[in-house]
Amino acid sequence: MKKQLYYFTAALAIIFTIAIFANSCNTSRTANTGALDNDAASAVYVAPGEYDEYYGFFSGGFSGQVSVYGLPSGRLLKVIPVFSQDAEKGYGYNEETKPMLNTTFGFIPWDDAHHPELSQTNGETDGRWLFINGNNTPRIARLDLTTFETAEIIEIPNSGGNHSSPFTTENTEYVVAGTRFSVPYPQKDVAIDSYKENFKGMLSFIKVNDEGHMEIAFQVLLPAFDYDLAHSGKGKSHGWTFFTTYNTEEKHTLLEVNASQNDKDFIAAINWKKAEEYIAQGKYKEIPAEHYSNRYDEKSHIATSTLQKTVKVLTPEDCPGLVYFLPTPKSPHGVDVDPSGEYIIGNGKLSADLTVHSFTKMLAAIENKDFETTIASVPVLKYDKVVSGVVTKPGLGPLHTEFDNDGNAYTTFFISSEIVKWKLGTWEVLDRIPAYYSVGHLMIPGGDSKKPDGKYMVALNKITKDRYLPTGPEMNHSAQLYDISGDKMKLLLDFPTIGEPHYAQGILASKITSKSKKFYPLEENEHPHRALGEKDTKVVRDGSEVHIYMTSIRSHFAPDNIEGIKVGDKVFIHLTNLEQDFDVPHGFAIQGARTAELLVMPGQTETMYWEPQREGVVPFYCTDFCSALHQEMQGYIRVSPA
Ligand code: CUK
Ligand code: CUA
Specify whether 25 is located in the same domain as 115.
yes
**What pLDDT does residue 262 have?**
84
2 confidence band (pLDDT: 50, 70, 90) = very low
Strand partners, 607: 574
CB-side neighbour CA atoms (13 Å) of 44? 25
Cα-based angle 18, 21, 27 (whole degrees, multiple of 5): 160
What spacing in Å lies between the alpha carbon of 634 and ligand 2's midpoint? Answer: 9
**441 CA closest ligand 1 atom index:** 4
SS3 434: strand
Residue 148 to residues 110, 151, 391, 579, 607, Cα–Cα distance (Å): 19, 9, 40, 19, 20
What spacing in Å lies between the alpha carbon of 580 and ligand 2's midpoint? Answer: 14
Name which of 176, 95, 144 is nearest 609 in CA terms.
95
Specify whether 505 is located in the same domain as 600.
no
What spacing in Å lies between the alpha carbon of 126 and ligand 1's midpoint? Answer: 24
Specify whether 504 is located in the same domain as 547.
no
Specify whether 444 is located in the same domain as 590.
no
**What pLDDT does residue 257 have?**
56
Residues with Cβ < 8 Å from 176, sequence gap 6 or more?
164, 165, 166, 167, 168, 169, 203, 204, 205, 206, 230, 232, 241, 243
Residue by residue, what is the 3-state secondary structure of 494-520? EEECCCCCCCEEEEECHHHHCCCCCCC
Read off the CATH number of the domain in which 607 is found: 2.60.40.420
Q: Pick 196 or 213 by higher pLDDT.
A: 213
d(CA 94, CA 7): 54
259 confidence band (pLDDT: 50, 70, 90) = low
Q: What percent of the chain has pLDDT over 90?
A: 90
d(CA 572, CA 587): 16
Compute the radius of gyration of the chain from its Cα atoms. 26
Ligand 1 pocket test, pick from 59, 503, 505 with the greatest ligand atom count within 8 Å of Cβ, gives 503
Whether residue 324 is contained in a domain is answered as yes
**585 CA closest ligand 2 atom index:** 1
127: left (phi over 0), alpha (psi -120 to 50) or beta: left
* Overall average pLDDT of the 122-151 stretch: 98
**163 CA closest ligand 1 atom index:** 2
64: left (phi over 0), alpha (psi -120 to 50) or beta: left
Q: Which structural domain range is residue 555 located in?
A: 522-640
Q: Is the confidence at residue 11, as pLDDT, over 70?
A: no
Given a contact cutoff of 8 angstroms between Cβ atoms, the answer to whether 203 and 272 are in contact is: no
Burial (Cβ within 10 Å: 0-12, 13-18, ≥19) of residue 556: middle
**What pLDDT does residue 313 have?**
98
Read off the CATH number of the domain in which 468 is found: 2.130.10.10
**440 CA closest ligand 1 atom index:** 4
Specify whether 479 is located in the same domain as 592.
no
* Overall average pLDDT of the 35-45 stretch: 87
Q: What percent of the chain has pLDDT over 70?
A: 94
- Check pocket membership of 598 for ligand 2, CB cut-off 6 A: no
256 confidence band (pLDDT: 50, 70, 90) = low
| Last residue in a domain, options 513, 540, 567 | 513
Specify whether 331 is located in the same domain as 216.
yes
d(CA 261, CA 268): 19
What spacing in Å lies between the alpha carbon of 312 and ligand 1's midpoint? Answer: 28
- Check pocket membership of 589 for ligand 2, CB cut-off 6 A: no
**135 CA closest ligand 1 atom index:** 2
7 confidence band (pLDDT: 50, 70, 90) = very low
What spacing in Å lies between the alpha carbon of 346 and ligand 2's midpoint? Answer: 53
Q: Pick 119 or 351 by higher pLDDT.
A: 119
Q: Is the confidence at residue 8, as pLDDT, over 50?
A: no
**333 CA closest ligand 1 atom index:** 4
Whether residue 634 is contained in a domain is answered as yes
- How many structural domains does the chain have? 2
**What pLDDT does residue 37 have?**
74
Whether residue 622 is contained in a domain is answered as yes
pLDDT tens figures, 468-487: 999 999 999 999 999 999 99
**What pLDDT does residue 35 have?**
62
**627 CA closest ligand 2 atom index:** 2
Specify whether 487 is located in the same domain as 529.
no
- Name all residues whose Cβ lies below 6 A of ligand 1: 114-115, 163, 229, 333, 399-400, 440-441, 502-503
Q: Pick 357 or 38 by higher pLDDT.
A: 357
Tell me which of 252-256, 464-468, 519-523 is least confident: 252-256
d(CA 352, CA 391): 9
Whether residue 232 is contained in a domain is answered as yes
* Overall average pLDDT of the 151-173 stretch: 97
**What pLDDT does residue 34 have?**
58
What spacing in Å lies between the alpha carbon of 440 and ligand 1's midpoint? Answer: 7
Name the residue with the closest Cα to ligand 2, atom 1. 586
Nearest ligand to the C-alpha atom of residue 229: 1
**What pLDDT does residue 19 have?**
40
What spacing in Å lies between the alpha carbon of 586 and ligand 2's midpoint? Answer: 5
Q: Is the confidence at residue 630, as pLDDT, over 80?
A: yes
- Check pocket membership of 633 for ligand 2, CB cut-off 6 A: yes
- Check pocket membership of 361 for ligand 2, CB cut-off 6 A: no
| Last residue in a domain, options 495, 513, 531 | 513
Q: Is the confidence at residue 589, as pLDDT, over 90?
A: yes
Given a contact cutoff of 8 angstroms between Cβ atoms, the answer to whether 500 and 477 are in contact is: yes
**631 CA closest ligand 2 atom index:** 2
Ligand 1 pocket test, pick from 115, 243, 502, 505 with the greatest ligand atom count within 8 Å of Cβ, gives 502
Q: Is the confidence at residue 21, as pLDDT, over 70?
A: no
Specify whether 224 is located in the same domain as 252.
yes
- Check pocket membership of 553 for ligand 2, CB cut-off 6 A: no
| Last residue in a domain, options 468, 483, 513 | 513
Query: Does residue 436 have a cis peptide bond before it, meaning omega lies within 30 degrees of 0?
Result: no
Nearest ligand to the C-alpha atom of residue 231: 1
Report the mean per-residue pLDDT for the chain: 94
Nearest ligand to the C-alpha atom of residue 630: 2
* Overall average pLDDT of the 225-238 stretch: 97
**What pLDDT does residue 12 have?**
38
Whether residue 102 is contained in a domain is answered as no
Whether residue 178 is contained in a domain is answered as yes
- Check pocket membership of 600 for ligand 2, CB cut-off 6 A: no
Q: Is the confidence at residue 20, as pLDDT, over 50?
A: no
**626 CA closest ligand 2 atom index:** 2
Given a contact cutoff of 8 angstroms between Cβ atoms, the answer to whether 166 and 155 are in contact is: no
Nearest ligand to the C-alpha atom of residue 588: 2
Nearest ligand to the C-alpha atom of residue 577: 2
**What pLDDT does residue 33 have?**
64
Q: Is the confidence at residue 251, as pLDDT, over 90?
A: no
* Overall average pLDDT of the 148-159 stretch: 98
Specify whether 140 is located in the same domain as 187.
yes
Specify whether 432 is located in the same domain as 297.
yes
pLDDT tens figures, 274-323: 999 999 999 999 999 999 999 999 999 999 999 999 999 999 999 999 99
What spacing in Å lies between the alpha carbon of 152 and ligand 1's midpoint? Answer: 23
Name the residue with the closest Cα to ligand 1, atom 3. 502
What spacing in Å lies between the alpha carbon of 358 and ligand 1's midpoint? Answer: 24
What spacing in Å lies between the alpha carbon of 393 and ligand 1's midpoint? Answer: 22
Name which of 387, 319, 320 is nearest 351 in CA terms.
387
Specify whether 464 is located in the same domain as 609.
no
Name the residue with the closest Cα to ligand 1, atom 5. 502
Buried b (16+ CB within 10 A) or exposed e, 419-450: bbbbebeebebebbbbbbbbbbbbbbbbbbbb
Specify whether 288 is located in the same domain as 421.
yes
